[in-house]
Amino acid sequence: MKFENILVEPDAESEGGVVVITLNRPESLNAMSRALVRELAKALAAIDEEQKARAVVMVGSGNKAFSAGGDIHEMANSTPEELAYGAKMISEFGWYLANFRLPTVGAINGLAYGGGAFLAAALDMRIGCERTRFRYLGAQYGRLNSTWSLSQIVGSAQAKELLFSARVVQAEEAARMGLLNHLVPQAKVLETALELARQIAKNPPEMVQGAKQLLHQYVGDDWEAMFRAEREAVTTRLKPTPVSEAFAGFLGRKGRG
């Protein structure tokens, strides 16, 4: 499979049992444009349809970022209708990724901010390194996401702190709170994610996938209700702050578009 914004490659060592998806926009720190999100959805649908892979690893290109979040320049040049569509698309993709049939492992090789942090939280497991940083920026910019996903990983109190404050979470703290499953040197972050995915891929897929399904089923309708409640809130009483206002500082930097 060939795309413009992502790379999709089978892992040779696992004989195709693991597929690696790379967010491939290093010039923008792998910002999540609408095109990139569409390609991610298409790639996962194709992997699911082929029924060959048993696990998926996701990583960002370069050595600075997993993903810096939404593509702010694209957002600034979008109509209100395009903004609403893009926000819904990213949100719905996060739900799709979280409930993807195959187990997913994130190699969080750098910063994961905003939409990138939301994307990382939708993965089943995360491997980080000394350059890994998380930041749930929504509240700072008049936006809202991750209320339904983050608390399932770090617990309600920690999720409240991260979502309310929009502060940076460094790698060691992320590991302590469970946002990272493992913390390794950057040179080994993808290798470690692949090793975990390969180990998972060796197990009977019906058992692994069944365990994932049951773990989500335990959360049940209430988890989906949390997701639906977030979607309803951001389209009614908690509508996003206009891009030109929310990101005025970023857009006004000298030399930027």
A 10 A CB-CB count for 199 gives 12
Return the pLDDT at 221: 66
Nearby residues of 143 by Cβ (< 8 Å), 6 or more positions away: 137, 234, 240, 241, 246
**Per-residue pLDDT at 218 exceeds 80:** no
**Per-residue pLDDT at 1 exceeds 90:** no
The token pair that represents 130 in the structure block: 């000394």
Domain map of the chain by residue range?
6-188
Q: What is the pLDDT of residues 86-102, one digit of tens each?
A: 999 999 999 999 999 99
Phi, psi of 112 (to 5 degrees): -130, 95
Q: What is the pLDDT of residues 52-63, one digit of tens each?
A: 999 999 999 999
Q: What is the pLDDT of residues 110-134, one digit of tens each?
A: 999 999 999 999 999 999 999 999 9
Q: Which of 48, 65, 18, 54 is nearest to 194 (CA)?
A: 18
CATH code for the structural domain at 6-188: 3.90.226.10
Return the pLDDT at 7: 98
- Please write down the HEC assignment for all residues of 56-68: EEEEECCCCEEEC
Distance CA 39, CA 29 (A): 17
Return the pLDDT at 239: 84
CA distances from 240 to 32, 229, 234 (A): 17, 15, 7
